[in-house]
A and B are shown apart, each in its own frame.
Chain A
Amino acid sequence: MRATLILEMFPIALMFASPIIIAALGGLFSERSGIVNIALEGIMMVGAFTAAAVTVLLEPLTPLAPWIGLLAGVAAGILISLLHAIASINMNANQVISGTAINILAGGLTVYLCQIIFHQQRTRSFSNGIQKMTVPLLSQIPIIGKAIFIENYPTIYIAFFLVLLTWFVVYKTPFGLRMRSCGEHPQAAASMGINVQRMRYFGVLASGALGGLAGGVMVLTADIQYTQSSIHGTGFIALASLVFGKWNPFGVLGAGLFFGFSTALSLYAKDITFLSKLPGEFFYGLPYVLTIVALILFAGKSVGPKASGEIYESGKR
């Protein structure tokens, strides 16, 4: 395999990896606080739709439209995740069912609104999404500069930054410690005076914000408009990255990059001799198979938050 080909793959791979990493970090906040979030897919759809619609509508007015779109995507993600929070924290709903409901809702609601606003099954296409950029000084670094800092989408830097931020918040602050305790043993956390419900609200809404952002990033870099298949399972790949990365921010980064590259490989495989025999479906299916393998390997070791998915009842021991 030629070295230049690998360098060529970087921008594409990083473009695919960014939304996976960002959404998986969202899942990390939610699950660390004790709420399973399989609604990431739906949250991403809502974020993507909102980001695309706002971008299309503001485009004639301001060149900043895609960035405003991203922020709108974050806001929409928070709103839709609020449903998940109310259902699973206040109403004791099964978190998987509530997440499933939000996934169904997102598919319906986004396309419904497309039809109302744009009179078609998808948003109008925007003329400019987020543009690629070259970072002035850093691009001079040999190899790394070429791979990461020349002609890449700035969203990957957002993803890198969020990994560091998440690590800092979750592992280096008292707040993070308290939040994690709610995902491990909420009753013990409550006995120390931690407000479990509030912590879990924070976790779920943070996953809404990051999931919405991830959806926006995805549609504004990899697509030209929002359609029902814009997200096509990326939320579930994010969930897979969370498992594969052992619920840890740097693990998530590694897993996200890996899945990003495996997606890019499916596009480039025909140029690589020893991979050209493999069908595209092999690469599409790979992340999912690997996740199952990872789950088997992690089995019996406590890697995930222990109380994630359990309904919190304050009286229970």
Chain B
Amino acid sequence: MKKRTEKVLLPLIAVFLGFLLGSIVILLTGRSPLTMFAAMLKAVSGIDLSTGQSFNPRYIGEFVIQSMPIILTGLAFAFASRTGLFSIGAEGQLMVGSLAATAIALMVHAPKAIHLPLVLLASLAAGAIWGGIPGLLKARFNVHEVVVTIMLNYVALHLNNFTILNIFGSQDRVKTAFFPESALLKDSFLEGITNGSRLNWGFIPVILALLVFSFIINKTTFGFSLRAVGYNKEAAKYAGMKVNRNIVLSMMIAGAFAGLAGAVITTGTFNFGRALPAAEGYGFDGIAVALVGANEAGGILFAGLLFGMLKAAQPLMQSQGIPKEIVGIIQASIVLFVAMQYGIQLILEKISKKKAEALEGEQQ
């Protein structure tokens, strides 16, 4: 198999196997997998096969807003991955990004042309700082980024809750006051044309982020040196690349992507800051998105839309009697199959080698 086709084909096989496994689980628990696929169709188009309800743009809007944050957290995981780093910190970076967005939205008063960009910049900066910490610890003390990012996720959760509840004040111990119009990605025009969905301008930063990701990784010397560090740290160092600086910068840029996702959720889907009882899982969704998308911008867009569709279909499945948690099961299986692809490849190679040997034996 060619490298290129392999890169596209293997994740697709994993996705197929994930859905297959999910369908088996649904069958085993006495439901019909067709209900799930019907819910997925309805989630992206509004078309309902059983009632004959036709196309409804509200569903598209809801499906797109589910995809936006996980595309960004996918970019975050992928960017660090390209430099050989394993960041499971998108969850926490997203939370500090959303916290920074909340702070600027509530404390600054300015016209929209200034206020909204400030909000987005703040979320980028906060995410970059939160991502930079594990990067710095890795570069300076060689502390493994996996454990640090996990711990920072929880620190971010409690920091977020503390700040929302004690500093911005919250009437109901859940949300802050509403943001002023000037800070919002949320927009009544977009809601109007999608029949009252929560679609917002967040898709513009998401598209920009995809372009920036692709540009940095593929078109700049900086991106090249990041990838070089990812392939072989020692060789990169020998070639005169600043390995430690690259590690910190890569984690910061990754963090910025995730931080932006926080702003997209807080000022797009919602219009207030929220205290959270637990992490919402956008970071883990992002890992799945990046793995299926093979750490490429195009792949991440595709995978983000796929998983966004699954998320959007959740309430529809639930109302049809399929527990919505089936999505987690499918997603986890897909991740597991993608993770095992190296082993699957090895096994396939072994089998084909044995076959070749057997053939040779026969010929002699």
Contacts and interface: CB of A to CB of B under 8 A. Distances in A.
B322 to A, nearest CB: 9
Nearest to B328: A108
Given A90-B343, A281-B161, A281-B162, A107 B325 contact: yes
Contact of B88 (A96, A116, A233): A96
A97 interface: yes
Contacts of B142: 299-300
Given A229-B277, A233-B154, A92 B346 contact: yes
A135 interface: no
A232 B141 contact: no
Contact of A102 (B278, B325, B332): B332
Contact of A285 (B147, B155, B165, B340): B155
A103 interface: yes
25 contacts: A38-B150, A91-B343, A91-B344, A93-B342, A96-B86, A96-B146, A97-B291, A103-B284, A104-B284, A104-B332, A104-B335, A105-B332, A109-B328, A112-B326, A112-B328, A115-B325, A239-B147, A240-B151, A279-B162, A282-B158, A284-B154, A288-B152, A291-B147, A296-B137, A296-B141
Contacts of B241: none
A37 B49 CA distance: 44
B221 interface: no
B333 to A, nearest CB: 7
Contacts of B340: 87, 91-93, 98
Interface string B282-306: 0010011001000000000000000
A112 B30 CA distance: 13
Interface string B84-109: 00101000000000000000000000
Contacts, number: 145
A287 to B, nearest CB: 8
B211 interface: no
A285 B343 contact: no
Give the interface SS of chain B, mostly helix, strand, loop or mixed. helix
Contacts of A109: 325, 328-329
Contact of B143 (A105, A289, A299): A299
B148 interface: yes
Interface string B142-173: 11101110111011011101100110000000
Interface string A79-119: 00001000100111110111011111101110110011000
B288 A104 contact: yes
Closest 9 CB pairs between A and B?
A108-B328, A91-B343, A105-B332, A299-B141, A115-B323, A285-B158, A281-B162, A93-B339, A91-B340
A272 interface: no
B335 to A, nearest CB: 4
A247 interface: no
A91 B336 CA distance: 10
A236 interface: yes
A6 interface: no
A105 B328 contact: yes
B319 interface: no
A7 interface: no
A243 interface: yes
Contact of B151 (A98, A102, A291, A299): A291
B343 A92 contact: yes
B335 A100 contact: yes
A5 interface: no
Nearest to A104: B332
Give the interface SS of chain A, mostly helix, strand, loop or mixed. helix
Contacts of A292: 137, 143, 148, 151-152, 155
A91 B277 contact: no
A296 B136 CA distance: 11
B364 interface: no
A64 interface: no
B326 A101 contact: no
Contacts of A93: 336, 339-340, 342-343
Contacts of A284: 154, 158
Interface in A222-270: 229, 232-233, 236, 239-240, 243
Interface residues on A, range: 35 or more
B73 interface: no
Interface residues on B, range: 35 or more
A281 B156 CA distance: 10
A295 interface: yes
A64 B86 CA distance: 45
Contacts of A233: 154, 278
B25 interface: yes
A243 B147 CA distance: 9
B331 interface: yes
B323 A111 contact: yes
B327 interface: yes
A8 B154 CA distance: 28
B233 to A, nearest CB: 15
Contacts of B141: 295-296, 299-300
Contacts of B344: 91
Nearest to B334: A101
Contact of A108 (B151, B278, B331, B346): B331
Nearest to A242: B147
B363 interface: no
A107 B279 CA distance: 12
B336 A108 contact: no
B343 A105 contact: no
Contacts of B281: 104, 107
A289 B151 contact: yes
A108 B343 contact: no
B106 to A, nearest CB: 19
Contacts of B51: none
Interface in B241-281: 277-278, 281
A229 B281 CA distance: 13
Contacts of B86: 94, 96
B92 to A, nearest CB: 10
Interface in B313-360: 323, 325-329, 331-333, 335-336, 338-340, 342-344, 346
Contacts of B158: 281-282, 284-285
